[in-house]
């Protein structure tokens, strides 16, 4: 995939912390031991396929502005591979980062398109509705 100008990871390592990576036995919210200070992967050439294949939606979507880079707002926007959900995944240490106005506005806009929108942080999750209301998933 061609890189989009202005959409480099830079010093963001948010996915290497917020997401669970079973191949590395890394739980959600724990910084991967291979993360380098200032960004980047210390085992880049031999990183697992799951890391090799992963790209957050922010990197691949020209419509998501620079302010929405995951480390800047504390949430990764992503499609759930196992369902129709559109998700904002947060670091469990800052579980309500998805309520950041910029992120919340985007989530409500996605809900208005008919998507099922869910914010997640570790084992906690919340549904966000087109009306702007939200509540815990049960
Ligand atoms: S969360 Fe996105 S921008 Fe940040 S390091 Fe991961 S892929 Fe790159
Ligand atoms: S192995 Fe590299 S790319 Fe994968 S989570 Fe760790 S630091 Fe990130």
**Tens of pLDDT, residues 12-39:** 999 999 999 999 999 999 999 999 988 8
Q: Is the CB of 77 under 6 A from ligand 1?
A: no
**Residue 16 located in a structural domain:** no
Percentage of the chain lying above the pLDDT 70 cut: 99
Gap from CA of 17 to ligand 2 centroid (Å): 9
**Residue 74 located in a structural domain:** yes
Q: Is the CB of 14 under 6 A from ligand 1?
A: yes
pTM of the model: 0.91
| Count of all residues that appear for the chain in the document | 138
**Tens of pLDDT, residues 65-82:** 999 999 999 999 999 988
Q: What mean pLDDT, rounded, does the chain reach?
A: 93
**Structural domain span for residue 87:** 49-136
**Residue 8 located in a structural domain:** no
pLDDT of amino acid 1: 57
As for how many domains the chain has, the answer is 1
């Amino acid at each position: 995939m061609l890189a989009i100008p202005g959409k480099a990871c830079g010093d963001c390592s948010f996915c290497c912390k917020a997401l669970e990576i079973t191949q590395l036995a890394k739980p959600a919210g724990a910084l991967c031991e291979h993360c380098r200070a200032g960004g980047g992967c210390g085992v880049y050439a031999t990183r697992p396929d799951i890391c090799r294949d992963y790209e957050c939606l922010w990197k691949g979507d020209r419509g998501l502005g620079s302010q929405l880079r995951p480390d800047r707002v504390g949430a990764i926007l992503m499609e759930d591979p196992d369902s129709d959900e559109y998700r904002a995944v947060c670091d469990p240490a800052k579980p309500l980062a998805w309520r950041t106005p910029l992120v919340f506005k985007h989530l409500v806009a996605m809900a208005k398109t008919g998507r099922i929108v869910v914010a997640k942080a570790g084992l906690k999750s919340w549904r966000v509705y087109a009306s702007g209301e939200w509540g815990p998933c049960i």
